[in-house]
Amino acid sequence: MITTPEDYIESLRGLKKRIFLFGEEFEDYVDHPMIRPSLNAVAMTYALAADPAHAGLMTAESSLTGQRVNRFTHLHQSTQDLVDKIKMQRLLGQCTACCFQRCVGMDSFNALDVVTYQMDQDLCTAYNPRFREYLAHVQRQNLVVDGAMTDPKGNRKLPPSQQADPDLHLRIVKEDTDGVFIRGAKVHQTGAINSHEILVMPTRSLKAAEADYAVACALPADAEGLIYVVGRQASDTRKLEGGKIDVGNYRYGAHEAVIIFQDVFVPWERVFMCREYAYAGSLVELFAAHHRASYGGCKVGVGDVLIGAVQALARVQGTEGAAHIKDKLVEMIYLNETLYACGLATSYEGRRSPSGTYMIDILLANITKLSVTRFPYEIARLAQDIAGGLLVTLPSEKDFDHPEIGPLLRKYLVGSDQFPAEWRQRLLRLIENITLGAGGVGYLVESMHGAGSPMAQRIMLSRLADMDAKEACALKIAGLVDGGA
């Protein structure tokens, strides 16, 4: 069982994966400077669980094994579990200022448990026990599992079966007595390389003609036929420069990857949906709802770091007392806490599903996410307002280290003389990271598109809001139905 961050890092060394980055294949991803910060962020999920100050929040008693397990592998057994999830996510955001990557797996487990249970009820299949056996293994080993949902999708106007290339959505291309073979790709796979396991799910609701696309299954992250291609991020290569300042967030970060599945084999005991196309939509919806709610925790934690950085920088620059600076900080707090309030309400209003696993309130989850597609952008804009132009004109740390110009830069780019220029450098670089750098990938664009783009949330709202009940209230007040004036 993996307990410490060190255990975790060592455990990955045993997994040999095919990984490409900048046109080259490389093996030692654990120590690769482009990957290591994201691995450190995942490691924090172990470190905090091992820290007595946080163990209560970070772990839970497993409904499967009765053991204390990392909450990221847990099936939520109460609304308190759902609330603790949000609080755990905020904590981790505060400790890493980036995406810590383990939520997608957790949210996938909880969605799959409910849907496999439903399938078993409806179809007399036995997916749920099979899935739970797998999950108990994950819990016992304390594994990191990448939830792989998003297909490339090709031409957005067309469903899977009508794409020019049928592989643009992942599908079963063959099956035999031992298992199935899958082909396709999954994109936007945050933290994929840091995972022990890949948990594949369909990307959308499906029709009968698209049954081959209805597949959910788990496979080891080093399964034969898997290829990982790491995506680029803003300012990504600052991680390769060797310094600690310009990178903004030296220790932590995240990565995304395209995973290509070249007719990869999955044994039956790891298959949790196989052509039951009618359940694909429900699985996507439940996963998305969980994951939309998650952003009401993690992004709030990153927001805390950004607010704190801005407050510290204002002090360094001598602007902390200006009324408009204070007011902008209040606005940032307001926006950030609104996200949190929505995340919490989504959890508190959760309900037990038939499998015993708790589901959050889906309507409120979509409300939460819709704010997440907006507020971090405004928080970032306000941060840039307070930070000042030096945010994007500051010379490199190597210039600050240069024997001739270093002293000149420190002389001229100091703020209040209470703080060395390095404080200003580091705080500006951190704010740059979150609002216009690698951290902005997670804080902004992922806030927009993670767990579905805003239009997906709007569609859910139009479906879930009880418009008939609202109309009935209005008609009654307007005197247009019985009991009216």
Which residues inside 437-456 make contact with its own copies, applying CB under 8 A? 437, 440-441, 444-446, 448-450, 453-455
Cβ-based nearer residue to its own copies, 23 or 354:
23
- Out of 83, 135, 199, 280, point to the residue binding its own copies (CB under 8 A): 83
Query: Does 51 participate in binding its own copies (rule CB under 8 A)?
Result: no
**What are the tokens at 420?**
């060395």
Cβ-based nearer residue to its own copies, 210 or 236:
236
For residue 298, indicate whether it is catalytic: yes
Q: Strand order in 171-175's β-sheet? A: 171-175, 179-190, 256-267
**What are the tokens at 440?**
């902005």
For residue 446, indicate whether it is catalytic: yes
CA atoms within 13 A on the CB side of 391: 22
> How big is the chain by its Cα radius of gyration, in Å?
24
What interhelical angle do 362-372 and 280-317 show, nearest 10? 40
- Which of these is catalytic: 29, 32, 74, 99? 99
- Residue 215: strand pairing partners: 274
Give the Cα-Cα-Cα angle 402, 404, 406 (nearest 5 degrees).
50
Query: What distance in Å separates the CA atoms of residue 477 and residue 485, rounded to the nearest whole number?
Result: 7
For residue 471, indicate whether it is catalytic: no
Query: What distance in Å separates the CA atoms of residue 430 and residue 44, rounded to the nearest whole number?
Result: 19
- Chain positions 406 to 435 lying near its own copies, rule: CB under 8 A, are 408-409, 411-417, 423, 426-427, 429-430, 432
Phi, psi (rounded to 5 degrees) for 441: -55, -45
Query: Does 340 participate in binding its own copies (rule CB under 8 A)?
Result: yes
Query: Does 53 participate in binding its own copies (rule CB under 8 A)?
Result: no
Query: Does 289 participate in binding its own copies (rule CB under 8 A)?
Result: no
- Residue 197: strand pairing partners: 145, 220
- Chain positions 200 to 219 lying near its own copies, rule: CB under 8 A, are none
For residue 99, indicate whether it is catalytic: yes
Cβ-based nearer residue to its own copies, 207 or 315:
315
Cβ-based nearer residue to its own copies, 2 or 382:
382
Query: What distance in Å separates the CA atoms of residue 261 and residue 273, rounded to the nearest whole number?
Result: 17
From residue 285, alpha-carbon distances to 2, 119, 401, 452 in Å are: 31, 15, 52, 10
Contact 230, 236 (CB under 8 A): no
Contact 291, 256 (CB under 8 A): no
* Shortest CB 471 distance to its own copies, Å: 4
* Shortest CB 429 distance to its own copies, Å: 8
Phi, psi (rounded to 5 degrees) for 476: -65, -50
* Shortest CB 33 distance to its own copies, Å: 13
Query: Does 285 participate in binding its own copies (rule CB under 8 A)?
Result: no
Query: Does 284 participate in binding its own copies (rule CB under 8 A)?
Result: no
- Which of these is catalytic: 95, 98, 103, 274? 103
- Out of 237, 351, 352, 356, point to the residue binding its own copies (CB under 8 A): 237
Number of residues lying near its own copies (CB under 8 A): 149
For residues 6 to 45, the per-residue mask of contacts with its own copies, x marking binding by CB under 8 A and - elsewhere, is --------------xxxxx---------------------
For residue 295, indicate whether it is catalytic: yes
Active site residues: 99, 103, 190, 256, 291, 295, 298, 446
